[in-house]
Amino acid sequence: MDTLALRALIASSPLLVIGILLAGLRWPARRAMPVGYLFVVAAAVFVWDVGWREIAASTVQGLMITVSLLYIVFGALLLLSTLTASGAMATIRAGFTSVSPDRRVQAIIIGWLFGSFIEGASGFGTPAAIVAPLLLALGFPAMAAVMVGLVIQSTAVSFGAVGTPILVGVSGGLAGSTAFQAHLAAAGLSQAEYLARVGLQVAIFHAIIGTLIPLILACMLTGFFGRNRNLREGLAVWPFALFAALAMTIPYVLVAAFLGPEFPSLLGSLIGLVLVMLAAQRGLLMPKETWDFPGPEHWEKSWTGSLRADSAPPSNRISITQAWLPYVLVAGLLVLTRLPQLPVQQMLTGISVEWNNILGTRVSQGLQPLYLPGSVFLVATLITYVLHRMRPADVIASWSVAARQLAGASVALLFAVPLVRIFINSGPEFNASGLTSMPLTLAEAAAQGAGGLWPLFAPWIGALGAFAAGSNTVSNLMFALFQFATGEKIGVSPLVIVAAQAVGGAAGNMVTVHNIVAASATVGLLGQEGVLIRKTVLPMTYYCLAAGALAYIWSYGFGLNAGTLLLFVLAAALIALAWPRRRVQAVPAAQAPGVE
């Protein structure tokens, strides 16, 4: 292929096919991902001249990563089925109802705050695997529960897993570049100081953009899942939503400024959770009218999965402290095992299953089974058996339920992750053509077309990387140096462009396929991945547009320019959506169950 544009079109074909099949034709991921896999193999072999041995090695690497993802999902499913069997879920549901029966408030507290805390501690899709089944147990439709779990994987993601996307992703992406080292020398900065500055810039972008996420989340609940399908019902919770947002984002930025990129999500969400729970218990800023979903008999078929909230009274009385203790254990163990200052992390990561130079190629992959969040879930589950005095029959039943639920997610992930590894492992170290990898080809084509407008597009490259790889960290590893070089080339601050990359990479987590498949599996919702993408692409689009506008203004200043214009257009669009001219037709009271 002799033109960059044509190569970019071919590189994008696997992603375009997946998007069309999932979001356009509404195929389930278990059918769409194998087709996408064939497209990426064809592009890699016939255009990038990647050898069949490298294709096989990348596939094996993807399967090894899939095993780790399924392990995490199984752990989350097992904990959920265990807590359901012990009666703890019934207690948790009653406890949240006593704080507020309002579903918008519950989604903000559990998703935005508790989910962000789990993201700060663990990352890698764990928040949705915890938030979605917890919301399902509270009586949310399965699709609404997954949607909440995905949308909140945005603001907190850049500092997830104790800062891994910055400390590993951005740092690893820039490491070894002579241009980057020269930039540091000219600025008189160490790499650690530069990363701290990038982290602060990322936190500021996220705080500005993410402060609206709880309100957007409430509007999505009422607009997609309400009886009246009315955004105004979501807006009615604005005092509480903005308070919950600021209770996290203000300490989030302060932590980034004074403590560095390890703890903004972890500490910001924890501080916010304490403040918001205190306010909620006292009824402060609560909505005047309680909002709930229509009765289950009026839910659309696509909203529900194979699991249902257990409304039967528990056979075992569990106190609220006992009920929450397993989740407290999960959060505590995640923190203890992720803090680099403690020896636990080194001990657990030291136990690894490695396959270097798979099939004689340069592809390598390792698994650290004890360090994966799945092991944390298992430990918490085993302790729960004792704490809740569970009967052997209930223990056996919980394992059986979790195993059956896991099977549904396996097929899609068995193709999705190998597809991603072939897509990434297509660069000159793996091919005979000397072409840059497919992700970098897409980025180079975008930069060539954008020129000085690049700050507007930088977040979209981050989102593309996260959508393809399923990870903000991997997106930053792929594109941080490219973004840095592009910033220098067009004469703007490379730091701002790299920060925009990291913010876009976080936003892309809302639509990445394997996160959607994994989260859906925890609530028994499979085959609806395309419907979920059609929903979560809306807040992702908002996030990337806002990040691009802010990056442009930070690069060129506030004035009569493209960034300022985009910011005003985006604000006008949000206002127009907030006050729609007419309502979408309400869910009819006599609608038959299961009719779409």
CB 157 within 8 A of CB 165: yes
For residues 357-384, give the mean pLDDT.
90
Measured distance CA(275)–CA(268) in Å, rounded: 11
- Could you please report the per-residue DSSP string of 269-306? HHHHHHHHHHHHHTTTT--SS---PPPGGGS-GGG--S
Give 331-390 as a DSSP string.
Answer: HHHHHHHH-TTSHHHHHHHTS-EEE-SGGGSS--EEE-TTTSHHHHHHHHHHHHHHHTT-
Tell me the residue type at 501.
Answer: Q
pLDDT digits (tens, 9 = 90+) for 31-49: 888 999 999 999 999 999 9
CB 530 within 8 A of CB 22: yes
If one counts every other C-beta atom within 10 angstroms of the C-beta of residue 382, the result is 13
Residue 203's nearest CA partner among 157, 161, 168, 241 is 157
Residue with the two structure tokens 């490491």: 175
Give, in degrees to the nearest 5, the angle at Cα 273 between 131 and 195.
Answer: 85
Is residue 308 scored above 80 in pLDDT?
A: no
Write the pLDDT tens digit of every residue in 160-173.
877 888 988 898 88
Residue 10 has a CB neighbour count (10 Å cut-off) of: 18
Alpha-carbon distance 96 to 282, whole Å? 14
Band of residue 226 on the pLDDT scale cut at 50, 70, 90: very high
* 536 sits in which H/E element: helix 529-556
Helix (H) or strand (E) holding 525: none
Q: What is the mean pLDDT of residues 402-414?
A: 75
User: Which of these, 312, 257, 324, lies nearest to 114 by C-alpha position?
Assistant: 324
189 in the Ramachandran plot: left (φ > 0), alpha (ψ -120 to 50) or beta? Answer: beta
Q: 2 is written with which tokens?
A: 């002799």
Other CB atoms within 10 A of residue 351 CB: 11
Confidence of residue 192 (pLDDT cuts 50, 70, 90): confident
Distance CA 438, CA 442 (A): 6
Of 106, 256, 230, which is closest to residue 166 (Cα–Cα)?
256
Q: What tokens appear for 204 in the block?
A: 């500021």
For helices 213-225 and 529-556, the axis angle rounded to 10 degrees is 150
pLDDT at residue 124, rounded to an integer: 66
Give the separation between CA 83 and CA 91, rounded to whole angstroms. 10
Note the Cα 152 to chain centre separation in Å. Answer: 7
Give mean pLDDT, residues 226-239. Answer: 92
What was the pLDDT predicted at 312?
A: 47
Q: How far apart (Å, rounded) are the C-alpha atoms in residues 407 and 489?
A: 49
Q: What is the mean pLDDT of residues 178-207?
A: 93
d(CA 361, CA 291): 57
* Model confidence pLDDT, tens digit, residues 319-362: 888 888 988 888 888 888 877 778 888 899 888 889 999 999 99
State the Cα–Cα distance between residues 5 and 567, nearest whole angstrom: 29
Q: Pick the residue with more confidence: 206 or 575?
A: 206
Helix (H) or strand (E) holding 176: none
Tens of pLDDT, residue by residue over 469-503, are 778 988 888 889 899 989 988 999 999 999 999 99
Summary mean pLDDT of the chain = 87
Q: Which residues have CB under 8 Å from 418's CB, separation 6+?
A: 37, 58, 59, 61, 62, 63, 66
d(CA 518, CA 374): 13
Nearest CA to 103 out of 209, 278, 236, 210 is that of 236
pLDDT above 90 (res 507)? yes
Residue position matching structure tokens 């609404």:
144
**Other CB atoms closer than 10 Å to residue 416's CB: what's the count?**
29
Q: Which amino acid is at 267?
A: L
450 close to 457: Cβ distance less than 8 angstroms: yes
Q: Are 567 and 546 spatial neighbours (Cβ–Cβ below 8 Å)?
A: yes
Residue 81 pLDDT class (50, 70, 90 cuts): confident
Q: According to the per-residue pLDDT averaged within each range, which of 28-37, 134-143, 243-252, 395-404 is highest?
A: 243-252
Asked whether the predicted pLDDT for residue 196 surpasses 80, the reply is yes
